Amino acid sequence: MRPLINALDRNRLHHAFLFVGTRGVGKTTIARILAKSLNCETGVTSQPCGKCSACLEVDEGRFVDLIEVDAASRTKVDDTRELLDNVQYAPTRGRYKVYLIDEVHMLSGHSFNALLKTLEEPPPHVKFLLATTDPQKLPVTVLSRCLQFNLKRLSVEQISQQLMRILQAENVEHDAASLALLARGADGSMRDGLSLLDQAIAYGGGKLKETDVRSMLGTIDYDSVHRCLEALGAGNAAGLLAVMADVVEHGAEPESLLDELLRALHEIALIQAEAISSEDERLRAHAQAITPSDVQLYYQIGVLGRRDLPYAPDPRDGVEMTLLRMLAFRPGGEGPSKEKPTVTRSTTSPTPVSVAKRSAATVVREQPRLLVETSSAPAEEITAVAEAVPPYGLYEETANPIEAAPVPDGASGWAQTVAQLKLSGFVRELANNTVLESHIDDAMSLVLDEVCGQLLKKEREVELKQALEEQLGRPIKLTIRIGKPPSETPTKERLRLQNERQQDAVQSLQDDPVVRAMQDRFGARVTPNSIRPKA
């Protein structure tokens, strides 16, 4: 609104203003404030006093020189002509005669023609304030004669803060969680937020509580989302179905669980990218327990499943299948098959390229999902490998089995031991973020990385101890302290090795003579993000 403020302060005003935005963002309110700024008794200003008779009458809706019209109920050309018959007369009390036309896009074509005449040659004492939610329906001849302002949808934080100010002024008991729910339910509209606030206060008997607001809005208990994430991390299909059953039993819509899960995954991804610092301890724990690649995988499956819900026989069935699909296609999940069948074919020669000649990198192309392997062999010997991939182009990783062995010394030895343990979910992440500090007889001491301190829970420590005892074949005394590990944790070691393999794969592909020949001859380009190192 800076152009409008400067125009008012310098008294260089346009004759027609168009306010565009979705419902409830303040188009009519801003137009009324502008009417006060034009007719305030202190003069034309961007800060009307709000105390003079003109300002008070505008606030009370009885200012004679502010003519408000609802175009949705007065669409006929006769109504428009009758309205504009008095344009030529000077204002009765104010400095300007202001015509505020709401939902102007509802006017008929003939009405726009009648209005256009006045917009082309307006009297100096007349200002037109037009408001619409659909500017595409306005003729370009009208748009070209208006100064247009596009009002953005209000963010959840803006709506929540405004609702908090209202509740504090009215001394209404409330909590932050209920305000966040109402702000999300408002969907960018302050007016809808206020309507929901009135309804929630009445529903809660003069108070705002999270449980009451969730019940009123039909949203799920956020604890169900955390249970859902824990079940995904643990590979617990029965747990996922139990969460879905609880949601339906409490009267919430099945798709609401998927919506809240997607919101939680989005927030987890932002936490992992260090874009935000959430105050929710459980979300921070999920951000440590779930790898970023798994978060992106779950989100993609969830979004695609949400899109396909109308095609499911029943919404509950569609949500359950989406959750089970997340479990089936996660790396190391219980998918339909642990092996990927491959079919090889030679482009020009029936003899495939030998494994020894193949490069250590593959380029992932889009549909039809072909992995084209490059080599130092002649171009006619390049072999295309078609992978059998899960639906939606999601890839499944397989882990190499490691033979059981006693706990070796050193960081690499501890990483090997953790890989042998049959752990899952948060217990696996707890072990992967620790380092073996000492192992004397049956006493074992671990150091948990301080940035993952929230992973340390008594029940997880007991489960890790049982897994180690099963691996070693004897009882042990396990102690875990939070601190700065003296060496790399298995998680950091895995990430470092993964980055090194990725860099080697990119370099190998860029140095490949066939790729260089394609770049020189056809102007081909290598996209580093599409390169995946061979397992």
The pLDDT of residue 412 is 65
- pLDDT tens for residues 205-247? 888 888 888 778 766 777 888 889 998 888 889 989 999 988 8
Contact 463, 427 (CB under 8 A): yes
The pLDDT of residue 94 is 87
Sorting pLDDT into bands at 50, 70 and 90, what band is 382? Answer: very low
The pLDDT of residue 346 is 36
Which of 96-100, 147-151, 275-279, 311-315 is the least confident region?
Answer: 275-279
Sorting pLDDT into bands at 50, 70 and 90, what band is 411? Answer: low
The pLDDT of residue 407 is 58
Q: Smallest Cα–Cα separation from 247: which of 230, 263, 223?
A: 223
Long-range residue pairs from 460-468, CB within 8 A, at least 24 positions apart, any chain: 460/426, 460/427, 460/430, 461/430, 463/423, 463/427, 464/421, 464/423, 464/427, 464/430, 464/431, 467/421, 467/422, 467/423, 467/427, 468/407, 468/417, 468/421, 468/444
- pLDDT tens for residues 343-368? 333 333 333 333 333 333 333 333 33
**Rounded to whole angstroms, how far apart are CA atoms 156 and 267?**
14
Q: In the 3-class helix/strand/coil scheme, how is 398-425 assigned residue by residue?
A: CCCCCCCCCCCCCHHHHHHHHHHCCCCH
Sorting pLDDT into bands at 50, 70 and 90, what band is 13? Answer: confident
Domains within the chain, CATH numbers bracketed: 2-150 (3.40.50.300), 156-217 (1.10.8.60), 222-329 (1.20.272.10), 342-393 (no CATH), 411-488 (3.30.300.150)
**pLDDT higher than threshold 60 for residue 189:** yes
- Half-sphere exposure for 42 (CA within 13 Å, toward CB): 13
The pLDDT of residue 374 is 40
- Half-sphere exposure for 168 (CA within 13 Å, toward CB): 8
Mean predicted confidence (pLDDT) in 310-317 = 91
Sorting pLDDT into bands at 50, 70 and 90, what band is 184? Answer: confident
DSSP 383: E
Which of 76-80, 110-114, 125-129, 339-343 is the least confident region?
Answer: 339-343
Residue entry with tokens 């007065």? 74
The pLDDT of residue 296 is 93
**Rounded to whole angstroms, how far apart are CA atoms 341 and 102?**
63
For the whole model, what pTM was predicted?
Answer: 0.49
To the nearest whole number, what is the mean pLDDT of the chain? 80
The pLDDT of residue 400 is 42
The pLDDT of residue 333 is 53
**pLDDT higher than threshold 50 for residue 375:** no
The pLDDT of residue 362 is 39
Which of 280-284, 348-352, 505-509 is the least confident region?
Answer: 348-352
- Who contacts 146 (Cβ-Cβ below 8 Å, separation ≥6)? 14, 16, 17, 18, 119, 128, 130
Sequential DSSP letters for 111-180: HHHHHHHHHHS--TTEEEEEEES-GGGS-HHHHTTSEEEEPPPPPHHHHHHHHHHHHHHHT----HHHHH
- pLDDT tens for residues 431-475? 889 988 888 888 888 999 888 888 888 888 888 888 888 888 888
**pLDDT higher than threshold 70 for residue 253:** yes
> CB count, 10 Å around CB of 75?
15
Residue entry with tokens 């409490």? 250
